Homo-oligomer: A and B are copies of this chain.
Amino acid sequence: MKHIAILGFGIVGSGVARVLEQNAARIARTVGDEVDIQYILDLRDFPDSPYADRVIHEIAPILDDPGVALVCETMGGSHPALEYSLACMEAGKSVVSSNKEVVANYGDLLLRKAKEHGVSYLFEASVGGGIPLIRPFLTSLACDRVSEICGIVNGTTNYILTKMKEEGRAFGEVLAEAQRLGYAERDPSADIDGIDAKRKIIILTALASGILPDDGDVYAGSIRGITVRDIEAADRLGGVLRLIARTVLSDDGRVSAYVTPMIVKNAHPLAHVEGVYNAVSVTSPVTGDILYYGRGAGSLPTAGAVLSDVSAILSGAAQAEFAPVFLRKPGAAIPFGEQSFPFYVRAEGSAAEAREKLEAVCASVVRIGDGAEFETGEMTMADVKRALPDAVILPILR
């Protein structure tokens, strides 16, 4: 019997208990032994749960119990998730995390600690929910040099943008509905301002390159300013509006990672990702383009990803696998504003005036529709902002 502990008995943590129960025989076959939840750490009590007698409110009993080989950190947030994870690894326990915030902010430190103490730190559930996205970087793609990652990694914003298009409704109205349906949080900022997607692209960038970008070096654009008019313009341009998380790895070791609403042309596979679905494409010279698509969130899919890491560790496979190292590399980031794209630009007021200002900084400007809306040739966001500081400016992804 293998004993594990769960830190945080919320949506993901309780999902882990549920899947462990439902699929006990299958998991035992994979692990080679039964898996039992010995402790559940949470601030709350769960008197009606079958696990009520395992609930504790302090980390100490877990740290002190040599019978616990593995801890699932499903708390979310940086603190005390970071401190608890480090303490568990110092006590010789492997840690599995679903917590994108702590991995994006402290992945370098956490992986170093795991190495120092000869344990594993795995985080398949931190990006893409149940989509097996992280392990391939350490196995299938470990022999290849990834040059680009491009994806839709936030289901809430994709749901909102899909609904705005399908039903021609305004951003605020669709957001309120998403909140009612539980697809968006009461404070929706982490989703709609690109913060959640930024954490995920930071993690994927680190897996692909070994360099963990600083939070401040990754641009995160919001979908708050998007109107139905922009969505209709995207349609006229033969594309759809999507919140894209992307990283381009240069041969010289520089990294361009960002999150921004973009107009994705219909020929691009990401243009067909609708509703709460996530999809990530990974480009490398040997393998070509691979796209992964599935539900990027939800209690069961995320719990399934946690349990795939649990199985990998308890079966012994993880220890023999290549463990990634995340390093910081100041100066490696290419600022978002310096990168070139074709743009869609929507200004207020006179179309002729806006056109003149744009043409001063870009050779190719095409007016679309009957307002001050334009498609530009390749140029930088910095240049568009210089010309039209108050315009809605969206890069176009072909």
Contact = CB atoms under 8 A, between A and B. Distances in A.
A304 B301 CA distance: 28
Contacts of A377: none
Interface stretch (A92-100, A292-300, A382-390): A292-300
B322 A320 contact: no
A362 B282 CA distance: 46
Contacts of A26: 142-145
Describe A's contact surface by its main secondary structure: mixed
A317 B139 contact: yes
A205 B195 CA distance: 40
B286 A300 contact: yes
Contact of A290 (B27, B132, B303, B307): B132
Interface stretch (A39-47, A109-117, A308-316): A308-316
Counted per complex, copies of this chain come to 2
Contacts of A142: 26, 30, 308, 311
Contacts of A320: 315-317, 319-320
Contacts of A301: 286-288
A236 interface: no
A342 interface: no
A142 B315 CA distance: 12
B292 A290 contact: yes
Interface in A271-300: 272, 279, 284-295, 298, 300
A172 interface: no
A289 B288 CA distance: 23
Interface in A133-171: 135-136, 139-145
A30 to B, nearest CB: 4
A124 interface: yes
B291 A293 contact: yes
A305 interface: yes
A286 B19 contact: yes
Interface in A209-231: none
A140 B132 contact: yes
A298 to B, nearest CB: 7
A130 B308 CA distance: 22
B135 A140 contact: yes
Given A23-B145, A139-B317, A144-B23, A303 B286 contact: yes
Contact of A288 (B286, B288, B290, B298): B298
A287 B130 contact: yes
Nearest to A19: B286
Contacts of A143: 19, 23, 26-27, 30, 304, 307-308, 311
Nearest to A310: B143
Nearest to A289: B294
Given A19-B143, A287-B301, A289-B295, 17 more contacts: A22-B286, A23-B143, A26-B142, A29-B322, A30-B142, A130-B288, A132-B132, A135-B135, A139-B308, A139-B317, A140-B304, A143-B304, A272-B272, A288-B294, A292-B293, A317-B321, A317-B322
7 contacts: A130-B140, A135-B136, A139-B311, A289-B295, A291-B294, A315-B321, A319-B320
- Those 6 A-B pairs whose CB atoms lie nearest each other, nearest first: A132-B140, A130-B287, A316-B320, A291-B293, A290-B294, A286-B304
